[in-house]
Structure 1
C-alpha cells in the first residue's frame, strides 16, 4: 500500500460519506449499489479501505455531521466491514456487514417506493458471498463455519420484507434465488420448499412480472430440485425454460457438461 497522509485519508472517507448520503437523498440505487458492493474489489473501495486503516476515527466523522449521522447505523458498520475485508479478517467483515444490512433493511421497509431495489439485490448477494468467505476462514482456523447459515436467516427476513402487495414484491424472486444458493451450498435443500410455496401459491406474486434473470435462476434451481425428487418431466420443463431464456452472451452461465444454465450471480 502506498503512503497515505492523514489528510488524504480524511478526504477519501468524507468523499465516500458524501456519495453515500447523496445516493440516498437522490434515490440513486445504482450508485448506492456500487458503494456497498464490498466483494467487488473496486479500486475506489480498496482505496477507501486503505484510508480507513490510516484514519481510525471514521465513526467520529459520521457522528459529528447531521447529514451523515442519520445513516450512521448503516454506514459505520459498513466501513468497519470494508476495513476488516481489506486485511482479510473475513468473519469480522461478515459480522459488520450483517449489522449494516439489518439497518439498511429497516430503512428499506420505511421507504414507500421500491427505488432502492438494486441496492437491496447487492446486499442479498454480498451477505451470501461474504458468508461463504467467512466460513472458509473459520474452517481453516478449526472453527465451526456458521456464517452462511446466518446469512440464510437474514435473507429470509429480507424475503419477508418483500412479500407484500406493493411494488417491492418484485424483488422477492431475486432474494429467493440467493436463498436457493445458500441452501444448496449447506445441503439443506428441503428448506427451499417454504419459499417455493410462497412464490407459487401466494396471490400477491405474478411470476411473469419478475425480471428474466431471476426467473431463469429460479427455474434452474427448482428444476434441479425436481430431479432430486425424481419428477423428471417437471425437471425437463423447468431446465428447458432456464436454457431457452438464459442470456446467450453470458457464457459463464452455461454448464457445458450438461448444457444447463447455471445461476446468475
Structure 2
C-alpha cells in the first residue's frame, strides 16, 4: 500500500525523467479496464493501491494529502492528480456493480451507501471531475515541447473520459424517462462536450511544429482520431469527420505506414465506413480491405466489424464469400448468408423475401447497410439473366419470354412488359450490353462480352 504523498513523489519522478509508461500507470483506472486485460503484466494498479490509504474522499482532503510529498507538486499537476483521485474514489463506490454496463442498467435514483448519494449524482460528480482533469491536461499537453512521452497517458485518460461521458448520458436519459414517465429524444450533452475536448486533443497533436519528429506529438494523431471518430459516430455527426480528414490531408505527418498497425487499422476502418455510408463503395472496399488484411488474426470481433461493411461492398461487385469463411462469423452468416445464397443461384424471389423480413430490414438499417444490400439485388437479377443466356448456348438473341419464364420459375410474378422493363433497366445500368427489340420482344445482346465484369461498371456506385 502506498500513500497519496508517495503517489505524488512517483508522479514527480515520472514528470522529471519524462517516463511515459510510469505516468500512464499512475493514471490508469481499473473501472475502465476490460476484464480480460486487467493486470496482465502482474502489476498492481497504483491508483487502487493509493486509495486504500484514503479515509477522507473530500476534494480538499485529497489535495492536502497529495501536498505532503517530499517534492513540490505544483499546478497544473496538482489539479490533475486531485481530480484523478476524485474520479477514482467515486468510481470505487460503483465497483460492486462490476462494470460500466452494469452501472448503466441501475436505477439512477439508487442510493450509494458510503457517500449517501444516488447513482445519478455520483456519475455527474465523477464526470465533472474528469472534465476538469481533461481540460487541465490538454492545456499542459499543448504547451509541451517533445511531448510524445506524454501521449500514451493522454490517450488513456481521453478514452476513459469518452466512456464516462457515454455512461453519464445513459444515466441522465434513464433518470429523465423515470421522472417524466415517457422516453423523449436522447440527449448526449456529456458526449458532445467530450467530442469538443477530443477535437482539441487532435489539434494539439496535428499542429505540433516545435518538436523534432522523433519526439513530436504528431505520433498520437491517429490514435486520437480513432477516439474522435468513435465519438462522432455515436453522436451521428458524421459530417464533422470530413473536417478531420481534411486536416489530416493538409498536415505534414510522418508516413502512414510508420504508425502502429492497430492505429492504421482503426483509421482505415472508420474511413472505409464513412465512404460506405456516402455510397462510395469502391473507396470503401479499398479501405476496409486494407483494415481487414492488417487486422490481427485473433481480433475476431474487429474482423467481424470490418466485414460487416466489406461483405456488401464485395457483393456489389459479384464477389461472394464462401460458406466456410462466413461460418467463422455467425452473426455475419445470419445477416448476409441468405442474400449470398440467393445471388449464387439467381433466386430473386428468395432475395426479396429475406430483404422484406422486418427483423432483417431493421437490422440492416440499424448498421447502415440496407441500401447497399438493396442495390445488390441487381446482381442477383443479373445472375438469373446470365443463367438464361448460358442455357441458350450463349445465343445473342434471346426472346424476352425466356427471361419472363425464368423469373416466374423463381417465384417473381410479372407482366411481360414489366420483364421487358427489368431487362432494359439492366442494360441502362451497364449490367448487360445490348438493346431491346420491342417489336420482336427480343433482347439482342452484344456478341462480345454481354455480361461485363462488375468492377468495370461505374453505375454500381451511383445514387
Task: Tell me the TM-score range normalised by the shorter chain.
Answer: 0.7 to 0.9
Taking a change above 3 Å as real, the CA distance of residues 257 and 248 of structure 1, as seen in their structure-2 partners, is closer
Q: CA deviation at 1:260?
A: 6.6
Instruction: Write the distance in 1 (CA, Å) between the matches of 2:189 and 2:19.
Output: 34
Quote the RMSD (CA, aligned, Å): 2.5
Which residue matches 1:101?
134
Q: CA deviation at 1:156?
A: 0.6
Which residue matches 1:142?
176
**Quick check: 1:58 aligned with 2:62?**
yes
**Quick check: 1:33 aligned with 2:24?**
yes
- How do residues 167-186 of structure 1 correspond to structure 2 at under 5 angstroms? 167-186=216-235
Which residue matches 2:206?
163
Q: What are the superposed Cα offsets for residues 134-183 of structure 1, whole Å, 9 maximum, x if unpaired?
A: 22222222185411111100011111111223421111111111010001
**Quick check: 1:67 aligned with 2:62?**
no
Structure 1 residue matching 2:3: 3-state secondary structure = helix
Q: CA deviation at 1:98?
A: 1.8
Which residue matches 1:116?
150
Taking a change above 3 Å as real, the CA distance of residues 63 and 231 of structure 1, as seen in their structure-2 partners, is same
Residue number among 69, 86, 92 corresponding to 2:92 in the alignment: 86
Structure 1 residue matching 2:298: 3-state secondary structure = coil
Contact 1:50 1:83 in 2 (8 A): no
Instruction: Write the distance in 1 (CA, Å) between the matches of 2:87 and 2:159.
Output: 15
Structure 1 residue matching 2:252: 3-state secondary structure = coil
Q: What are the superposed Cα offsets for residues 185-206 of structure 1, whole Å, 9 maximum, x if unpaired?
A: 1111111010011112323454
Taking a change above 3 Å as real, the CA distance of residues 250 and 69 of structure 1, as seen in their structure-2 partners, is same
Which residue matches 1:4?
none
**Quick check: 1:76 aligned with 2:82?**
yes
What is the TM-score of this pair, normalised by structure 1?
A: 0.85
Contact 1:254 1:260 in 2 (8 A): no
Structure 2 residue matching 1:67: 3-state secondary structure = coil
Instruction: Write the distance in 2 (CA, Å) between the matches of 1:15 and 1:260.
Output: 50
Gaps of 5+ in 2: 95-121, 178-186, 311-463
Which residue matches 2:392?
none
**Quick check: 1:238 aligned with 2:242?**
no
Instruction: Write the distance in 1 (CA, Å) between the matches of 2:66 and 2:50.
Output: 15
Greater helix percent: which structure? 1
User: Structure 1 runs of 4+ off > 6 angstroms?
Assistant: none
Taking a change above 3 Å as real, the CA distance of residues 248 and 259 of structure 1, as seen in their structure-2 partners, is farther
Contact 2:266 2:291 in 1 (8 A): yes
Instruction: Write the distance in 2 (CA, Å) between the matches of 1:172 and 1:30.
Output: 18
Structure 2 residue matching 1:14: 3-state secondary structure = helix
Q: CA deviation at 1:55?
A: 5.6
Instruction: Write the distance in 2 (CA, Å) between the matches of 1:79 and 1:212.
Output: 33
Instruction: Write the distance in 2 (CA, Å) between the matches of 1:208 and 1:245.
Output: 11
Deviates more, 1:203-212 or 1:109-118: 203-212
Instruction: Write the distance in 1 (CA, Å) between the matches of 2:306 and 2:203.
Output: 36
The structure showing larger relative contact order (alpha-carbon pairs under 8 Å, at least 6 residues apart) is 1
Instruction: Write the distance in 1 (CA, Å) between the matches of 2:52 and 2:169.
Output: 24
Taking a change above 3 Å as real, the CA distance of residues 47 and 133 of structure 1, as seen in their structure-2 partners, is farther
What is the TM-score of this pair, normalised by structure 2?
A: 0.50
Which residue matches 2:271?
222
Deviates more, 1:135-144 or 1:26-35: 135-144
Residue number among 46, 49, 53 corresponding to 2:48 in the alignment: 46
Taking a change above 3 Å as real, the CA distance of residues 46 and 202 of structure 1, as seen in their structure-2 partners, is same
Gaps of 5+ in 1: 1-7
